[in-house]
Each structure stands twice: as C-alpha cells, then as structure tokens.
Amino acid sequence: MQEIRRNLPVDEQLAILERGVVDLVTRDDLRRKLERSRETGEPLRVKLGADPTRPDLHLGHAVILRKMRQFQDLGHKVIMLIGDFTAMIGDPSGKSKTRPPLTLEETRANARSYLDQCKLVLRDDPEVLEIRYNGEWLEPMGYADVIRLASRYTVARIMERDDFKKRFEGGVPIAVHELLYPLTQGYDSVALRSDVELGGTDQLFNNLVGRALQRDDGQEPQVVMTLPLLVGLDGVEKMSKSLGNYIGLTDEPHLMFAGLMKVPDPLLENYLTLLTDLPRERTLELLAGHPVAAHRELAREVVAWLHPDADPGAAEARFRSVAKGGIPENIPTVTVPASELNPEGKISMARLAVLAGFEPSLGAARKLIQNRGLRLDGEPYLEPQGTLTLEGGGAVIQKGKDRFARLVPGS
C-alpha cells in the first residue's frame, strides 16, 4: 500500500487529482483549499454520495473510487456517504421515467455489500475514511424543514436539468419528489461541510446545487469534480450490470483479465487513463503500438491493483490457454450426488449447468444450451433436453469463453 504523502507540493497534488477529470469547479478553489490544508495540516473533507440501489459494483464505479483513494494517499479524508434515505426517492439523473423507490431496509442491506467492495479500493483507515448515512439528518426532518429547504431554490433552476427538461417537453410525468432530489443531495454537502464533492458527469447539476446551498448557508462552497462514465465492453453504453457489458469489481483474476482483453480498441486510452497510474508517456507509447500489447498491459495493471495477492501472470496464462481452445487445469469441481440421477443413472445437462452455478434455473439453463452457450468437454452442446451419464473422471462443461466446471459423480 502506498504511503500517505501529506506534504507533497500543491502543484504535484493537483497533477495527480486532475488526471481523468472532466469538470472541475473551480481549479482555483481546489488549489486554495489544498494550500490551506498543507499549511494547517487539516485534511480536506472529500465527499462521494452513493445510493445503494444495487449491491454489486463494477469497474465503472472504480473510476471514482480511485480518485477518492488518490485523495486519501495525499492525506485527505474521504467521506463515503450512503444515501440510504435518498435511495428511497431514487436519483432521476439521466432517467427517462420515474424510478421505483426502495425501502430503507433494502437500501441498508445493499449498502453493507457496497461498502465491503469499496474497501477493495479505499484505505480502510478511520484517519482517512469516514462512512456516513444521510438518514442521520434527513429522516428527523419535519415538514416545515422540507418547506424551508425547498424555499432556497427555484423551480426554474431545477428545470434547467437536461433530463427534467426533456421529460417535461416530451409530456413524460415528473413526480414532485424527484424535483426535491437535487436539493436533498445538495443538503448533504451542507450537513457534512464537505470541501470537495466527487461524482460522475451525470451528477454535475446535483453537485452544483450542493455548492449553492453551502454558499447560502454561509459555508465555503465545495469544489465539484466529475469523472467520465466508463463505457462498457459493448463500446456503446456506460458500463452496467443490467446491460451485461461490465467487469465486476470482485471478478476472479482470470475473468477480469479476460474481460479487459475485450475492451474495444477505441476505448483503450480511456481505460488506461482512468484505471491505471501509467504515465502519460507510457500510455501514448502503448496506443502507438499493437492493440494486443496495450490490452495486455491494461489487464496486468488492473488485475495487480484489484488482486494484489494474485499472480497476473497466472491470470494471463489461463487467458491464453482458453483463447487457444484449451481447458485450464485449475477449475472448480462439482460433485453430483447420486440422488440427482434418474433411474437410468443419467442427469440432464440443464441440471448440471445449474449445479455448476452457470444459471439460476432449469429454464435459464435450457435457454443457454439453445443459444449455443454451453460446451461439453470442449464441444458445443446443442440439446436443451439432453442427458448425460457421469463416469470415471466426470465431464467438463463450459459457459462462454472462460467459465468452467468439472462434474464428477458422488456416492
């Protein structure tokens, strides 16, 4: 783990913190805050708000988490703000329709998993990490408090938001609670007295509201920094689990390596800049060479970062083996109990796919087979209703390019 560098010159801090940033409001404010922090020894309070609507994270989330880690490495305190209360409203940013609300219990359950994964990137040290929930100050607010908050911003300014504007002009309903979301998120910055707020480019408006509310409250306005939304492996949409174009933050090293080798060539510069610490000169050198070499270095860097105890060379060797049509040596073994077999001693291939953890149900497994997504001992398996007799050393089934399981008969 890199040492905390509290006394790094401000210009060097700025160079680190500006890498990959899209919006910086304002650079002068950030410089002034960094200079004051260096003089007084008082760390900046750097806020990232997250509504835990889903419990799992991917490399798109890691882009902002890396920026938080950079602030930590410079001796500043990052505040991971879990929007357990605002998640019940549902952030309308970039949404074309009202998002279904979650219960407070659902958001807090998601938050536990969310935080565990964030700590794969962040320093888990109370000196540089503070975890807060905005339910602390939002839940006790009464109706009069909400009215007073709403009086501090105009409808005209709220409607400047592009997604609200498009929905209004298109006749798509906008619920009143959605209009309150930017104010509610902005109030978090007031409650936390944040110096800097991070977010994706889709959060610029919300974060600027926080800056305005702080000024109105007599606080020094926070600096707003946004980072790009990482485009997924399809090369079109932002990385998203729902779109299937993602690499999970907790993926095994070989799966992560294989996923990064699939990054579309036009996105290599973006991935190298946002997900590695490679110097700009090295990035340009890689981009000028063969794309496979750039993919390989990207994959090695990211796997080494997120799996410091793993061997990136082993992940690469497995990738090469699978790419050549081979079956890796170290794959999970699943013992199939005799109770799973029919009277003829056979078991359906769909059931084997479920037992291997490839699919959650028989219906999904049959669909996988029907779509030519399953292999048996290296060969495509095309019979959704087919069965297999397990003998001796068992059989190896494969989903996609790099998910394997060895099925062996049990007693």
Please give the Cα distance from 368 to 372 (Å, whole number): 7
Q: Specify whether 49 is located in the same domain as 187.
A: yes
Which one-letter DSSP state was computed for residue 153? S
Q: Are residues 91 and 169 in the same domain?
A: yes
User: Does 338 lie in the same domain as 270?
Assistant: no
Query: Within this chain, do residues 26 and 167 fall inside the same structural domain, yes or no?
Result: yes
Is residue 246 in some structural domain?
Answer: no
Q: Are residues 297 and 220 in the same domain?
A: no
User: Beta partners for 77?
Assistant: 45
The DSSP code sequence of 78-140 is EEEEE-TTGGGT---TT-SSPPPP--HHHHHHHHHHHHHHHTTTS---TTTEEEEETHHHHTT
One domain, residues 343 and 382: yes
| Same domain, yes or no: 129 and 20 | yes
Which pLDDT tens digit goes with each residue over 29-44?
A: 999 999 999 999 999 9
Residue 233 lies in a domain: no
Return the structure tokens found at 163: 């997604």
CATH code of the domain covering residue 71:
3.40.50.620
Question: Could you say which DSSP state residue 396 is in?
Answer: E
Of 36, 347, 3, 23, nearest in space to 201 by CA: 23
The reported pLDDT for the residue numbered 3 is: 67
* Tens-digit pLDDT profile for residues 294-343: 999 999 999 999 998 888 788 887 777 666 666 666 678 888 888 888 88
The dihedral of CA 63, 65, 71, 74: what is its sign? negative
Which residues partner with 231 through β-bridges?
238
Same domain, 339 and 306: no
Helix (H) or strand (E) segment spanning residue 297: helix 291-306
Q: What is the pLDDT of residue 2?
A: 62
Q: Which of 278, 295, 323 is the last residue of a domain?
A: 323
Same domain, 370 and 270: no
Tens digits of residue pLDDT in 284-296: 999 999 888 999 9
Query: Is there a contact between 123 and 69 (Cβ–Cβ < 8 Å)?
Result: yes
Cis peptide upstream of residue 107 (ω within 30 degrees of 0): no
CATH code, 262: 1.10.240.10
Residues 398 and 260 in one domain: no
Of 275, 301, 323, which one is at a domain's C-terminal end?
323
Asked whether residue 340 is domain-assigned, the answer is yes
**Owning domain of residue 362:** 333-409
The answer to whether residue 36 sits within a structural domain is: yes
Write down the pLDDT at residue 112. 79
Q: What is the pLDDT of residues 46-79, one digit of tens each?
A: 999 887 666 678 999 999 999 999 999 999 999 9
Taken in order 377, 379, 384, 388, the sign of the CA dihedral is negative
| Distance in angstroms (rounded) separating the CA atoms of residues 301 and 312 | 8
Domain assignment present for residue 43? The answer is yes
Taking the model in full, what pTM does it have?
0.75
Q: In 3D, which of 15, 19, 16, 71 has the Cα closest to residue 273?
A: 19
pLDDT given at position 397: 87
Q: What is the pLDDT of residue 329?
A: 64
Domain end, chosen from 211, 227, 243, is at 227
d(CA 191, CA 369) in angstroms, rounded, equals: 53
pLDDT at position 156 is 81
Domain count, the chain: 3
Two structure tokens written together for 122: 């962040």
318 and 341 fall within a common domain: no
Within-domain flag for 218: yes
The answer to whether the annotation marks 401 as part of a ligand binding site is no
Q: For residue range 198-227, list pLDDT tens digits in order.
A: 999 988 988 999 999 999 999 999 999 999
Q: Is residue 388 part of a domain?
A: yes
28 plus 176 within the same structural domain: yes
Record the tokens describing residue 195, joined without a space.
Answer: 């110096």
Residue at 346 is within a domain: yes
